Every structure is written in C-alpha cells, then in structure tokens.
C-alpha cells in the first residue's frame, strides 16, 4: 500500500537511509552546492562501490550551481553519471530524489536542492511517496527524459572548466550576486518562464487492418531479401537505411518472423505502441508486451521497450543477456548515445537489427560500427522518389534577411532570447505569410525554432483569416491527436510545431512544409522533409517553402536534395534533383549561398566548434576515430583543411609544447600517412602490422614475409573486410593461408606502390619495406600513438565508405 509523508526538516537524514540500501539512485536538482555534496558524498561513494546505478542531473540556470560543487561531485566516483542541464536563460527548478531497490521504490519531491541547508536545517517542504509503483514509474520516466535530453551535457573536467568560465563571467556582470550564493546557498528563483518539455505522450489514430493479411511491398521486399541473405552469410548484425514513409517498422516485423524471442527498442513511447500494433498485424499468433517503466509485460514473445527504461540497471537486469534471439533498434541513428550503450553492451542476441532513415547521428555521428559496418540495405528518400515510392517535391528557397551573424552561437544552437528578438517581428511574419500563401497547397506543417515562435506565427496567421494551431509540449487547448485529425480533415490549414513531428508520426495527407527556423541539424531537417513525402490519394507533389538566411549550414543543406553527392567537396548551389522534382531559389538566396561557399574560413570555425563540443562531451581530447564516430563535422574535412588531424590540433593550439616539437619534426610523415591513396586497405594493414611490434620497433624495416600472417588474419577476421578487399579472383585463392602467395601480394601491392608514391619517405628494395626517417627515442611514444590513431581511423573510414557505397574506388 502506498505511503505519503510530509517532511519539513532534515530531508538529508531520509536520503541517507535510502542511499544506504538503494540499487538505483536518481537525483534531479536545480542547483548544487558543495555543502550539499559534502553532506551526501560518503554515502554516494559507498553506494557506487557496491554497484548502485547512480544518475545525477543539475542545471546552470542563472549560474547558481557552484563550480566547487560540481567538482566535488566528479571527485566522488567515476561510476556516477552526472549531466548538466543547459537552461539558456529558461527556468529550471526540479527537486527530486528517486530510490529503488528489490523491495520498494521511494520518491522525494519538494523544495530541497542539493545544499546542506536544504538537506539539514533549512525551512523546506518535501513529500515522500513510497510503495506506489505507478507514481514512481511516471517520475522515473520524466527523470530519464530530462537526464538524456538534448540540452544536457555530460559533466567532466572539460565541461566543468567551461561552466566555471561562464560562472565567473556571469558573476562579474552581476557583482551584487557574486557572494550571495555561498552565504545563502540558495535563492528563491521561481520565475514565470516557459520551458520545452518532452513531447506529449499521446497515441496517434490507429488504422484498421485485418490481422495476418499484410504483405511486404515496395522497398520492404528488396530489403527483406537482403536481410535474409545476411542471415545466410552468418552475420550477427545489420543496418537497414530506408527513407521515412517506406515502412521500416513493417520490414522489421516481417524479418522478425525468423526468430522466436524478440526485443524492439525505441526512444519514444508512442513508437513502441505503433510498432506493437504493426507486429500484431504481421504475427497475430504471437504474444506482445510493453516494457516502459509503467507497463512491464516482460514475459511475452515480443517485448517493446523504452531505451530510457533499459538504461536503468534495475530494469535491464530483469532480462538475461541471452534472453532475446533478435533485438531491433528503431531510429538507429540514436544508438551511439550513452542511453543505448549499456543495453547494447549487456544483451547478446543472435542478431541485432538497426533501422533508420537518417544513419548519421547528429549530422555525422557514426553508428555503422555498432553493426560491424554491415549495411544490408540502403534506400534514401531521393532514390525512393525516383522509384515513385515517395512523392516528388517542389522546393522554394525564400530569402530571409535576418542577420544571423549577429546572434550568439552556443556551440550547437543559437541563443534563444536573441533568436526570438529577431523572429517575433510583424514584418517577418508578414513575409512568411505572403510566401506561404503564394506557394501552399492544402495541408501544411510549419516547423519553428521555439514554442514562442510557433504561438506567435499561429496567432498572426489566424488574425489574417487562416485556421491554424500551435502544437507543442505545453499546449493544452488542443491535443496532438485532435490537431492531426483536424489537419487531415482539412478543418485547419497549418499546424505550427517545434520538434513533435521529427520521428514516429505521419500525416500522409500533408502536402506543404513550411520551414521558418535556421537549419541547425541536417539530420533533423531530413526527418522533417520526410513528413511531407508520403504518397496519398490526390497528392501529386509536396511543396517545401524554406526561409534561407545567413545561418550555419545554409550553404550545405541543399546537398540533401542532390542525387549526385560530391563527397564533402564544395556543394553545388543548384543540385541535381530526382525526376519530377523542382527547385526555385530567390536570386538573393543564390547570391547568399555563393558568398558563403566562397568564404572558407567559417568552415574552419565550425570544425573547431564541433571539435570542442566533442572534447567537452568526452572530457578529454578525442582520438581521430572518436572524432569521426562522434563528431558533428565530417572527419574528412579536417584532412582537407589541415592536411592531417594532428595538423588541426596544432592549428587549434591543442598540442603541448613537446607535442608541437614532435609535430614540426615529423609533419611530412603524418601528412603522407593521412593522404596516401587507398583503393584497398592494404597499405594501412601493413602499417598496422608494423605498429603491432610496439612503440620502440614499429618504424624499423619489415619484410613482406614478416607481415604476411598479420595481414592475412586481419582481412579474414571480419566477413565485411574479406568481402570488400579480399574477394577478387587473385585474393580468393589466398583465403587458405599461403605464406608465399600472401607475401607476393603484399610486395606487389602495398609495399611497391606506397614506396613509389611517397616522394622518398618510404622505399622498398630486396623485400625490405623502409621508412626513410629516424625516430628519436624521446619522440617514440608520441609519434607511435599518433600513427596508430591515424591508421585505425583510416581503416575504419575505408571499410565504412566501401560498405555504404561499394562502387567507391
């Protein structure tokens, strides 16, 4: 039976009791003071040592949180996960403490932040709720949505340093507040401001389909055939990339018929319910269960689980590691996120299937490696349009004269307050209305930057005689289900929204898309474009009205429509479009894009910002491969701009004095290893074989015979390596190891060819492969690490590109 208790003093004593026995601890507070951390640190340390799952989230609102407090949190134990909510001036005031063990759940919520006064002698009111699974599950769900929200960042020494600098700067501007925090520890900051919440959890209208009668169609048949081949070839994982609207979930359901026990993982609750309904139509004889922290139907044949629930150890360990034959991860471009890592490392399925429309997480964060580079099937929205499986489009680029260069860039987005000042103007709204009226069709989705902009434009359109709604997480006048129905019926003209329609929700009748926001993420832009491309009776084309100004990514966004991508080089202003598609750009837009293309320096600035974003996320300097896998910019651009990754680090002043000396001495070698051509992987496999000899010997001469065993093992070890680089007629004969044959291949291909193209840095004579430079003993460790990083990156990049597009030479 649930128990509710009012606690008006010494909350800290209650927390210590719970920490001592809890297996799961979640803390969400507006502010953190060092005194509060000191109060709990010994108990939290003991809990971490015994293996408790501990997550702590706090905020930077008005820079009340003390840097010393954050530093003290980091010092407790590196197994504790800590994230910092970036409020961007919007109030952040939760105070909640959640505890769970095998016996019970307990939740404290009220007024107490993480400070000694709030936990000990201060005047505070808090409620304790225990033994109420429904309330606890809802609270935990909200906590996890906040903890993993896009505006949080991992706390580490790098992000702490950034916070401390901003903290000092803020308090210099507000000197009267500077010492008040440490004296009072907390202020009453309950300011009436709006904040975007996680999306409303409403189910969209279901379609009635008779169970058992649905069959694969369009791209699903081709993809299913390729997946079945993958099974026959004994792969244990694969990625399918299919454009929005082609039925990825149904494809997963058809493929799942090959397995008995199945787990379907998604990051949004409504996707779980939609997927369950789709699977039921395909396999009506199976049993189905939802596992999301609220519903825990864990014994069915097919489980549909929230990744946020599975990120908690207490829920994850309800299942055996080998519980499932097949695990399907929806919207797989999220799979590189920390929230997925624990689940993907815990489970050991017979097969892992990732499905997505946009595989490059956060514009380039790679997820291919999670499926060992095995892309079983790929069909993007441009090819789907060519095949008439998606609607063609007419794209109108409308000039926006807002000067975005005057708006502060915060690393991954514009400052919200400054952006709103530019957007909430009648003259801009009038221009948007005019462009839309001139080009619109019948049903429009309008994508905005913020709730305030969505409300402002909806009001403006309504005052001018149109029927619109602003639909967002704080809307209470009309729900999502109702708004979708009204738009589908033609009762309203426009839904203005922020990010509710990026993934998982479709309105096939939508025939007009209106973009009134800067394109900060190309992945999100691609997802939003997909909202208008579904086929629908009477719909001949999708009209896209896009306001383009001098914001970041404006000069590369049009590459998304290009049927002939040029692999990172200068983009065409007028891309090659699919059949039946049109593009119409204002003259001012063409001039703007040409000017942005001409100015190359902004690209270097973006590379630098993206590098530091990743460094903050990791808490240290990223390796070259990490930059590629997790960085927001295409890693090849660092080579194009700076000749090598280490060259970029030198330019960015990220090298130590000693490292700068090593770079200056061996720069020619680093550039050679970075830029040497690679139709196959052979050069880097030989180099990796040399590196296997260790730090003090890797640069010594080597023979083809000496490196042959490693060379053969490396290429035969993974199926995709063998298939890509070791399967032509000559190499196939060497699948069974033949020292003479492999040595001859190495001598003829990588050793002879590399020596011939290296401008004297490398020579090959009498079966001796020689690097023609000396490595001083004091330089060995640094140069070894750099060379190994570069080699591992180039091998990964090579196989990844070949997997994505086998025709690349």
Q: Residue 41's domain is classified under what CATH number?
A: 3.30.870.10
Residues 355 and 430 in one domain: no
Range of the domain at 367: 219-379
Instruction: Show the CA angle centred on residue 213, arms to residues 210 and 219, nearest 5°.
Output: 120
- pLDDT for res 411: 62
199 inside domain: no
Handedness of CA 499, 500, 506, 510 (dihedral sign): negative
7 inside domain: yes
Each residue of 430-447: b (16+ CB within 10 Å) or e?
ebbbebbeebbeebbbbb
Please say which residue of 599, 624, 651 terminates a domain: 599
The set of residues, in sequence order, having a beta carbon less than 8 Å from that of 697 and lying 6+ positions away, is none
650 inside domain: no
Residues 162 and 76 in one domain: yes
Residues 398 and 363 in one domain: no
Residues 179 and 250 in one domain: no
- pLDDT for res 178: 44
Residue of 671, 689, 677 lying closest to 769 (CA atoms): 689
644 inside domain: no
Residues 247 and 334 in one domain: yes
For residue 133, give both structure tokens: 């699974």
Residues 449 and 536 in one domain: yes
Residues 359 and 482 in one domain: no
Residues 172 and 233 in one domain: no
Residues 16 and 108 in one domain: yes
Residues 472 and 547 in one domain: yes
For residue 670, give both structure tokens: 């680093």
Instruction: Show the CA angle centred on residue 785, arms to residues 779 and 789, nearest 5°.
Output: 145
543 inside domain: yes
Domain CATH code at residue 291: 3.40.50.300
- pLDDT for res 500: 63
587 inside domain: yes
Contact 744, 752 (CB under 8 A): no
Q: Which residue has the tokens 């590379």?
A: 607
Please say which residue of 568, 584, 599 terminates a domain: 599
Kindly state the DSSP code that residue 121 receives in the 8-state scheme. Answer: T
Contact 691, 791 (CB under 8 A): yes
- pLDDT for res 293: 61
Please say which residue of 327, 354, 379 terminates a domain: 379
Neighbours of 344 (CB within 10 A): 19
| Domain total of the chain | 4
Q: How far apart are CA 509 and CA 538, in angstroms?
A: 9
Q: How far apart are CA 625 and CA 53, in angstroms?
A: 29
Residues 110 and 76 in one domain: yes
Residue of 574, 633, 635 lying closest to 605 (CA atoms): 633
306 inside domain: yes
Contact 83, 154 (CB under 8 A): yes
Residues 322 and 421 in one domain: no
Low-confidence ranges of the chain (pLDDT < 70): 89, 175-213, 293-298, 333-338, 359-369, 372-373, 411-412, 473-477, 499-505, 565-572, 599-602, 803-809
Say what the pTM is.
0.66
99 inside domain: yes
What is the bridge-based pairing of β-strands 95-100 and 81-85?
unpaired
């Amino acid at each position: 039976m649930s128990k509710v208790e009012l606690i008006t003093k010494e909350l800290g004593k209650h927390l210590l009791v719970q920490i001592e026995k809890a297996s799961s601890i979640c803390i969400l507070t507006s502010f953190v003071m060092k005194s509060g951390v000191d109060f709990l640190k010994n108990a939290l340390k003991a809990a971490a040592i015994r293996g408790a799952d501990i997550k702590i989230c706090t905020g930077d609102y008005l820079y009340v949180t003390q840097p010393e407090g954050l530093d003290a949190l980091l010092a407790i134990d590196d197994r504790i996960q800590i994230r910092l909510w970036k409020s961007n001036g919007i109030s952040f005031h939760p105070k909640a403490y959640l505890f769970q063990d095998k016996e019970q759940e307990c939740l404290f919520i009220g007024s107490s932040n993480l400070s000694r006064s709030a936990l000990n002698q201060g005047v505070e009111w808090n409620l304790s709720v225990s033994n109420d699974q429904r309330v606890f599950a809802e609270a935990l769900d909200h906590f996890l949505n906040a903890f993993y929200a896009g505006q949080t960042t991992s706390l580490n020494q790098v992000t702490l340093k950034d916070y401390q600098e901003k903290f000092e700067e803020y308090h210099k501007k507000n000197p009267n507040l500077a010492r008040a925090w440490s004296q009072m520890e907390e202020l009453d900051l309950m300011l009436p401001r709006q904040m975007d919440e996680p999306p409303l959890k409403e189910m969209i209208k279901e379609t009635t389909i008779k169970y058992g009668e649905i069959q694969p169609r369009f791209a699903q048949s081709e993809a299913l055939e390729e997946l079945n081949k993958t099974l026959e070839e004994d792969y244990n994982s694969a990625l399918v990339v299919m454009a929005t609207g082609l039925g990825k979930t149904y494809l997963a359901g058809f493929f799942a018929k090959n397995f008995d026990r199945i787990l379907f993982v998604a990051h949004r609750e409504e996707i779980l319910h939609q997927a369950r309904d789709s699977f039921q139509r395909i396999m009506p004889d199976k049993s189905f269960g939802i596992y999301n922290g609220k519903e825990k139907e864990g014994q069915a044949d097919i489980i549909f689980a929230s990744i946020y629930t599975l990120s908690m150890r207490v829920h994850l360990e309800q299942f055996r590691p080998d519980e499932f034959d097949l695990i399907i991860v929806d919207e797989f471009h999220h799979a590189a996120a920390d929230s997925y890592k624990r689940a993907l490392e815990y489970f050991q399925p017979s097969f892992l299937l990732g499905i997505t429309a946009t595989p490059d997480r956060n514009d380039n964060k790679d997820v291919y490696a999670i499926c060992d580079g095995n892309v079983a099937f790929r069909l993007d929205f441009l090819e789907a349009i060519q095949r008439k499986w998606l609607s063609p489009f007419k794209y109108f680029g409308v000039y926006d004269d807002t000067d975005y260069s005057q708006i502060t860039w915060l690393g991954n987005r514009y400052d919200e307050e400054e952006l709103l000042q530019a957007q909430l103007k009648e003259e801009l709204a009038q221009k948007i209305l005019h462009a839309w009226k001139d080009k619109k069709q019948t049903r429009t989705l309008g994508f905005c930057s913020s709730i305030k902009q969505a409300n402002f434009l909806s009001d403006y359109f309504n005052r001018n005689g149109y029927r619109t709604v602003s639909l967002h997480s704080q809307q209470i006048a009309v729900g999502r289900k109702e708004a979708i129905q009204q738009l589908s019926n033609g009762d309203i003209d426009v839904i203005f929204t922020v990010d509710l329609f990026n993934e998982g929700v479709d309105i096939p009748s939508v025939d007009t898309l209106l973009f009134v926001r800067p394109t900060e993420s190309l992945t999100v832009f691609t997802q939003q474009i997909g909202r208008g491309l579904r086929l629908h009776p009477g719909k001949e084309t999708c009209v896209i009205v896009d306001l383009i100004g001098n914001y970041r990514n404006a000069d590369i966004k049009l590459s998304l429509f290009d049927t002939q991508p040029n692999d990172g080089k200068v983009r065409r202003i007028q891309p090659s479009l699919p059949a039946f598609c049109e593009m119409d750009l204002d003259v001012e837009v063409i001039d703007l894009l040409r000017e942005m293309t001409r100015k190359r320096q902004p690209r270097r600035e973006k590379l630098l910002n993206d590098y530091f974003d990743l460094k903050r996320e990791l808490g240290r300097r990223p390796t070259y491969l990490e930059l590629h896998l997790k960085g927001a910019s295409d890693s090849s651009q660092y080579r194009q701009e700076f000749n090598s990754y280490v060259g970029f680090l030198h330019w960015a002043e990220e090298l130590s004095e000693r490292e700068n000396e090593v770079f200056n001495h061996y720069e020619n070698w680093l550039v050679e290893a970075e830029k040497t051509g690679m139709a196959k992987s052979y050069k880097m496999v030989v180099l990796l074989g040399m590196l296997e000899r260790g730090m003090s010997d890797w640069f010594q001469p080597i023979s083809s015979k000496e490196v042959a065993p490693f060379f053969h093992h490396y290429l035969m070890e993974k199926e995709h390596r063998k298939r890509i680089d070791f399967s032509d007629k000559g190499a196939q004969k060497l699948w069974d190891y033949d020292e003479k044959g492999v040595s001859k291949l190495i001598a003829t291909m990588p050793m002879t060819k590399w020596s011939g193209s290296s401008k004297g840095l490398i020579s090959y004579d009498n079966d001796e492969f020689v690097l023609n430079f000396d490595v001083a003993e004091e330089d060995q460790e640094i140069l070894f690490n750099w060379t190994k990083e570069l080699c591992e990156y180039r091998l990964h990049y090579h196989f990844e590109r070949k997997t994505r597009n086998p025709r690349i030479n």
